[in-house]
Amino acid sequence: MPLDILLVDDDPKLRQAVADRLVAAGHRVTMAADAARAQALLGERGFDLALCDVVLGGASAMAVFEQIRRESPETDVILVTGHGTVQDAVRALKAGATDYLTKPIEMERLAHEVGQIAERRELERELRRARSQVSGETGAQLVGRTAVMQRLLERVNTIAASDAPVLIAGESGTGKELVAKILHEHSARRGRPMVVVNCAAFPDTLIEAELFGHERGAFTGAFKKREGRFKAAHNGTLFLDEVSELPLQAQAKLLRVLQEGTFQPLGSNETEKVNVRIISATHQPLKDLVAERRFREDLFYRLKVLDVRIPPLRERQGDIPALVEHFVSRFAPDGRVTGLTPRAWAAVTHHPFPGNVRELEHAVHHAVVLAGSGLVDVHHLPEELGATEVDEPAPVGEIQPLAEAVKQFEREYLLRALEASGGNRSKTASQLGISRKNLWEKLRSHGVPSKHGGDERRSDG
């Protein structure tokens, strides 16, 4: 199982040597040269393992360790110590660190320790999967360890127990219905029905009948009485997806249900009473529709007693490894597909995913089916992920030495990172977790011209 590793050390040569060894073992490594950069990265995303020098530039790195324990307690921590800092390491072990290594680092021991952590985490994952299959409680779940996702999970857990209406906002494909299911499953109504209505799927003439039901003969084609979705959701939850598509007349009837808990089916003078929690979702800003008089202001505030904003995938790119692992496990539960090659990872991380998590899910499903077993490579990915821009893997008879393959991958990845940042080397170095000097040295070693990506003075401002 490949790990997502944060490597924190102020010695550039040691940092690079350790990173090279871990990457060669199949892990993903993000580097930081100081505590400030490490803390910033921890604020953006989660990691499986943090490998951290106890002393960074003469200062203690214990603040980094404390942040990990506070914000990401599931992250394993290995501390690297000099001769005078073993006591600090022992103290950290008592506080929850996984292990510590002393300098000079023995690479074989490092590989062994990281390998053991990977094996343990894989066993824990398999155990969780087995328990969920035995109990039949797979449940809806949000996957993500970035700070923005942790805040989202905290908010969802906080408001789930309430009966108040919730408005979920987010771009298409971010998981609005998934959040609605979690809110329902963690509420007091979880044993009752959750009824889903896509308001955009019905024409204006039928949406009222769909929601509130109708009597026989209420309109052309109404050959028999039919109960609506509100009645079906009695004592449970009604999820109104794309609520912005409701016509104004239906909005008025929805407002009455929210205010009084009553409605009249089409063609009936009888008033029905229901007890329903309303969760609605939209990918359009409802405030703008209110300003354009396309959405009732009073209904907007009734729906938005509580609100949840789901971030697009581009704002939580640090969750992509966890999401890929989650989808690979779902679509290849027998374990035949074991992960992605470095070049496939480069293609996935380079793609902007305008379709958000739904697009990533479909991409992984597509790749797993084509791969069948082993590792997913770039040619297994959908074409829109840029697979056609990446060289095909070398035929079996042309396998390169590992060091040469890693060097080639690093060059391609650096060029992709430069392109993504518009040639801004400071931004590129920051995103890669290395110093600008280190980036410059790497580019020079790979024969990349100094003017690659545009005028350096202009692009760095």
Q: Residues 4-15: pLDDT tens digits?
A: 899 998 888 888
Q: What is the pLDDT of residue 457?
A: 36
Query: pLDDT-derived band of residue 460, with 50, 70 and 90 as boundaries?
Result: very low
pLDDT at residue 24 tops 90: no
Burial class (CB in 10 A: 0-12, 13-18, 19+), 336: exposed
Outline where DSSP puts E strands in 160-253. Answer: 166-169, 194-198, 237-241
Tens digit of each residue's pLDDT (9 = 90 or more) over 321-350: 889 988 998 898 888 888 888 788 888 888
Domain 147-313 has what CATH class?
alpha beta
The C-alpha angle 440, 443, 447, rounded to 5 degrees, equals: 135
Tens digit of each residue's pLDDT (9 = 90 or more) over 282-296: 999 999 999 999 999
Q: What distance in Å separates the CA atoms of residue 210 and residue 238, rounded to the nearest whole number? A: 12
Tens digit of each residue's pLDDT (9 = 90 or more) over 355-371: 999 999 999 999 999 99
End-to-end CA distance of the chain: 41
Q: Which helix (H) or strand (E) holds 6?
A: strand 4-8
Q: What is the pLDDT of residue 246?
A: 93
- Domain spans of the chain? 1-139, 147-313
Q: What is the pLDDT of residue 360?
A: 95
Q: Do domains 1-139 and 147-313 have the same CATH topology?
A: yes
Distance of CA 297 to the CA centre of its chain: 33
Token code pair at residue 8:
């924190």
Q: What is the pLDDT of residue 88?
A: 62
CATH code linked to domain 1-139: 3.40.50.2300
Query: pLDDT-derived band of residue 136, with 50, 70 and 90 as boundaries?
Result: very low
Token code pair at residue 139:
């449940």
Tens digit of each residue's pLDDT (9 = 90 or more) over 159-192: 998 889 999 999 999 999 999 999 999 988 888 8
Query: pLDDT-derived band of residue 388, with 50, 70 and 90 as boundaries?
Result: very low
Q: What is the pLDDT of residue 414?
A: 78
Contact 363, 381 (CB under 8 A): yes
Query: Where does residue 96 fall: left (phi above 0), alpha (psi -120 to 50 degrees), or beta otherwise?
Result: left
Token code pair at residue 83:
């001769």
Number of Cα atoms under 13 Å in the Cβ half of residue 165: 23
Q: What distance in Å separates the CA atoms of residue 454 and residue 419, rounded to the nearest whole number? A: 10
Query: pLDDT-derived band of residue 405, with 50, 70 and 90 as boundaries?
Result: low
Tens digit of each residue's pLDDT (9 = 90 or more) over 79-127: 887 755 556 656 666 767 888 888 888 898 899 889 888 888 877 766 6
Contact 35, 56 (CB under 8 A): yes
Coil, strand, or helix at residue 450?
coil
Model-level pTM? 0.61
Token code pair at residue 315:
């704002």
Q: What is the pLDDT of residue 40?
A: 82
Peptide linkage before 104 cis (omega within 30 of 0) = yes
219 to 40, 265, 350, 439: CA distances (angstroms):
61, 12, 53, 70
Query: pLDDT-derived band of residue 59, with 50, 70 and 90 as boundaries?
Result: low
Distance of CA 110 to the CA centre of its chain: 29
Q: What distance in Å separates the CA atoms of residue 237 and residue 223, rounded to the nearest whole number? A: 28
Backbone φ and ψ for 203, nearest 5 degrees, come out as: -70, 160
Tens digit of each residue's pLDDT (9 = 90 or more) over 233-284: 989 999 999 999 999 989 998 999 999 888 888 777 788 888 999 999 999 9
